[in-house]
Structure 1
Amino acid sequence: MAAGRCVKVWLWPVLAVGTCLLLCRCTAELDCKPGPKVKNQDWGYVDVRPSAHMFWWLYYRTDKPAGSEPTPLILWLQGGPGGSSTGFGNFQEIGPLDVSQQPRNTTWLSVANLLFIDNPVGTGFSYVTNKNAYATNVSMVATDLVTLLKDFFTCKTDLQKVPFYIFCESYGGKMSAALAQMLDKAVKQGDVKCNLKGVALGDSWISAMDYVNTWGPYLRATSLLDHVGLQAVQKSAQMTQQAVDQGRWKNATELWSRTEDVLEEFSNGVSFYNILGDKVKFAVSDGRAPAFSNPSIEKLYRRHVSPLHAPSLAELMNGPIKKYLGVIPDDVTWGAQSGEVFAMMAGDFMKPVIDIVDDLIQNTDLSVVVYNGQLDLICNTIGTEAWVHKLQWPGLSQFDTKKWTPITSKEITVGFVKTVKNFSFYWILDAGHMVPADAGETALRMITMVMEGQ
């Protein structure tokens, strides 16, 4: 398909039954040509590096009240690394439709335009044509994303001035922090035309060891570990900490996996994503995961990435969605390379990025938000508070002494928030790792507050 060519397509049922819209499908180079402005959806690829093709999907908010302020744009980045934003984040968390293609009552599209990117390359519908093109660290990931966004905003001139926010989840937070730092500099240098306003780090893997070291105490406090179990978990965590302290990063990732094994054993299989949820079950291989040379990395992938690519979602993405989009190469299977993505990032996985968050708070005008689900284990709130207290930000002492403000719904407390200058922390109650999925109404309330500067 020629770059920038506008074609008529029929939207799949439920999204817009019997509606024909003009969609400008910008492909690799985003060579946009004059044509009808799209006011519903758009998608395409950007070649961020040789052999590295990154897929994006944009939803425009269509119910904007006349005369209202410009509709903000939210970019959503998934975790993993290897979790697909266009699949999991879109259809299982914040997009307009769920996996059954039914409308979502708490879609973030009700208050903002939404942009999903399958990142790093090799995730979801993003793909590589050379194995050397995979990203291996968060800096490469951020560079790829800035490259995509530069072309995206060059094409989407209507979005250059609207408030732009980066929201994310899990390992997506580590990538989002690095992206925000790099993008802020690119915007100030005039390399990217966008109105970046803030970054919100949801249950984010900012400092691995602050989480690993608090898994045991958190589960002990919630009666999910006894004293014997706590000792076993802490012993394994200490071994992981030693590997980190010595800079043995891949070994630290393997020891992290073993610590999870110990934790599961002594808690009878507590869920890492919601301590009140179902027992952990390793996803059955569906043929999409690569053959791993390292059993520990394979175990991590099947525990933390493969479940995001559940069979029902994979069937949707590789069936009706792939056909509907019309630009996905025939030999690209959604989710097929995600295991390789995880394996290639293993050496960077345990490295903290607290310094990047610190830089964002102290040296930019961005709103920096941290939000955490009360019932999350993998990135539990105690661990998040631990790394926040390692910030060198001068406002931390004021933050510590300030009383938080309750967030209520129908006279029920659903969360708390504390804000000092450009930094905010949201405690989201009754939610695990996937806050929008567990507490949709509260999450929607939170993003509205963030965008309104509350």
Structure 2
Amino acid sequence: MGRFQTSAVLFFFGFLLHKGLPSPGSGTTEVWDYVEVRPGAHMFWWLYSADSPDLPLVMWLQGGPGGSGSGFGNFEEIGPLNRDLQPRNTSWVQAASVLFVDNPVGTGFSYTERPDGFATDVATVASDMLVLLQHFFTKQAEFQSVPFYIFSESYGGKMAAVISLELTKAITKGTVKCNFAGVALGDSWISPLDSVMTWGPYLYVTSLLDDYGLADVTKAAEAVKEAVNNKQFLKATELWSVAETVVEQNTNGVNFYNILTQEPDDKRTKSSPEGDFILTMAFPLVLQIRRHIQRLHSLSLSELMNGPIRKKLGIIPQNVTWGGQAEEVFSNMAGDFMRPVVDTVDQLLTAGVNVTVYNGQLDLIVDTMGQELWVKRLKWEGLPFFNKLRWTALDDPASPGATGAFYKNYKNFGFYWILKAGHMIPSDQGPMALQMLKMITQQQV
């Protein structure tokens, strides 16, 4: 029996053995599997098939790097069930088949058997994903003709851009058979420096920094800029971490993922007592890695994934825990973290790939100001025409008569400004995110 068939059988018996777990919904089927993308490097995927063959296939890529799509994206954002295993009214499975992939290797239920099995750059991430997609579309041949979209969030957007470019090449060569229809970059780490350099101005105009704080944050951001300009990318990542600390200390713990909320006290970088401050400045990257990755691995979510979900799946190796290698994923990518991929987006647009950028109004870590800066530097020939367009308002599906977003499109490029949303748009504004998905995939709304 093949591995794919094995996972399907285990799914059936898993439900018999663990029938306390609710179904993902009427008409929705699930399958999952592992793919060995390099010797000793295993990636996990989980597919929810929609009940209509006319709906597209969407692959969701989480951020971090080290955040799990099978966990956070699935149960906190767009999957059919929420963290309490209750049906989600705004699940994307209503409008698409959804494929969650735990990438890079070591993320979520993905794992490496060897210390050198982690990816250290997005080129390796893309190479690994192409192996997985080749496997997936071969085993799931019914999806080869279905419009296939890649949606992403945060660092997942950086990975998605590079993966999309490599996928277009693979399709041309015939090594991957699929109907690639576009990529959507949500609150994405496409140009890290543009994000860091706009933190100060964004916080200042929203009354979260005073003049002294603005000066402190600007100084910290300039240090990051110098390192990036000198192509000292590992140093730039370390200085990014320091800059985040400076922001926290000058805003009394603003939440980088939604400026209208405050960072929980146990995750906040304190300026006192003195020992905490010294630790923060001596090991800034370690502390920031833990803070950002742990956000995607809350205790309750970890208990769900390593408990009933692990039992349901039935194929997770005994020595693998969900999220157990997440910090190593981030630390191994630290030298690549601050590298921009704006040129990759340009190549995608020039190749005719449909590209959508979407961003939350209340996001800080990837603020909209920074996104607009790199978009305005694109060399794509359609940019002058795109810039001349006025945006169009969209009603909030959850609040008729209220504006939920603005958007504009020109040829194969679009931008959505999502109001009242932070970094994780589907969890902050689920109805609006679902409507955006339908618009991008050209469904009636």
Using structure 2 for the length normalisation, give the TM-score.
Answer: 0.92
- Tell me if the contact between 1:375 and 1:430 (Cα under 8 Å) persists in the aligned partners: yes
CA offset at residue 295 of structure 1? 2.3
Letter of the 1:446 counterpart? M
Aligned to 1:104: 88
Q: Which of 409, 412, 432 is the matching residue for 1:422?
A: 412
148-157 vs 4-13, greater mean Cα deviation? 4-13
Instruction: Give 2:37's match in structure 1, choosing from 31, 34, 48.
Output: 48
Q: Give the aligned residue type for 2:429.
A: A
Match of 1:234 in 2: 218
The Cα offsets for residues 126-175 of structure 1, whole Å up to 9 and x where unpaired, read as 00000111000000001100110000000001111000000010000000
Q: Equivalents in 1 of 2:147, 2:33: separation in Å?
A: 22
Aligned twin of 1:373? 360
Inter-partner Cα distance in structure 2 for 1:39 and 1:209: 41
1:306-317 aligned within 5 A: 306-317=294-305
Supply the distance in 2 between the matched residues of 1:374 and 1:17 (Cα, whole angstroms).
Answer: 31
CA gap of 1:379–1:318, structure 2 versus 1, over 3 A, is: same
Give the SS at the match of 1:305.
Answer: helix
- Give the alignment partner of residue 73 of structure 1, picking from 57, 68, 71: 57
Q: Secondary structure at the match of 2:434?
A: helix
Query: Tell me, which stretches of 5 or more residues in structure 1 are unaligned?
Result: 20-37, 285-293
Confirm or deny that 1:340 pairs with 2:328: yes
On the 8 A contact 2:120/2:333 being kept in 1, the answer is yes
Structure 1 Cα separation of the partners of residues 324 and 186 of structure 2: 26
Determine which structure has greater relative contact order: mean sequence separation of CA pairs < 8 Å that are 6+ residues apart, divided by chain length.
2
The C-alpha deviation readout for 1:323-379, integer Å capped at 9, x for no partner, is: 00000001001011000000000000000000000100112x321000000000000
Match of residue 169, structure 1, among 153, 157, 160: 153
- CA RMSD across the alignment: 1.8
SS of corresponding position for 1:9: helix
Q: 1:92 aligns with which of 66, 70, 76?
A: 76
Distance apart, 1:381 and its partner CA: 0.3
Q: 1:347-366, aligned counterparts within 5 Å?
A: 347-363=335-351, 365-366=352-353
**How many residues of Structure 1 are paired with residues of Structure 2 in the alignment?**
421
Cα distance change, pair 17–338 in 1 and its aligned pair in 2 (3 A): closer
- Superposition deviation, residue 71 in structure 1: 1.5
Match of 1:59 in 2: 48
Q: Which residue number corresponds to residue 277 of structure 2?
A: none
Give how far 1:280 is off: 4.4
Question: Structure 1 225/2 Cα, relative in aligned 2: closer, same or farther at 3 Å?
Answer: same
Give unpaired runs (5+ residues) of structure 2: 269-281
Deviation of residue 18 (structure 1)? Answer: 13
Answer whether contact 1:282 1:307 (CA < 8 A) is retained.
no
Bigger proportion of residues as helix = 2
Instruction: Quickly say closer, same or farther: Cα 1:10–1:422, change in 2 above 3 A.
Output: same
Query: What residue number does 2:259 align with?
Result: 275
Structure 1 residue 307 displacement after superposition: 1.3
**Quick one: structure 1 residues 403 and 249, their matched pair in 2 at CA, closer, same or farther if it must change by over 3 Å?**
same
Q: Which residue of 2 aligns with 1:431?
A: 421
Counterpart of 1:258, as a letter, is V
Structure 2 residue aligned with 1:16: 23
Mapped to 2, the partners of 1:295 and 1:346 lie a distance apart of: 14
> Alpha carbons of 1:129 and 1:355: their partners in 2 closer, same or farther (altered >3 Å)?
same
Quick one: structure 1 residues 299 and 202, their matched pair in 2 at CA, closer, same or farther if it must change by over 3 Å?
same
Distance 1:17 1:58 in 2: 11
Partner of residue 139, structure 1: 123
CA distance in 1 between counterparts of 2:423 and 2:240 reads 18
What SS does the aligned partner of 2:416 have?
strand
Q: In structure 2, what is the equivalent of residue 183 of structure 1? A: 167
Q: 2:100 is matched by which residue type in structure 1?
A: F
Structure 2: distance between partners of 1:204 and 1:17: 29
* CA positional deviation for 1:304: 1.1
Q: For residue 252 of structure 1, report the CA deviation from its aligned partner.
A: 0.6
- The TM-score, its normalising length taken from structure 1, stands at 0.90
CA contact (8 A) 1:207 1:387 kept: yes
Preserved CA contact (<8 Å) 2:184 2:355: yes
CA distance in 1, matches of 2:205, 2:365: 15
Aligned partners of 1:282 and 1:302 also within 8 Å: no
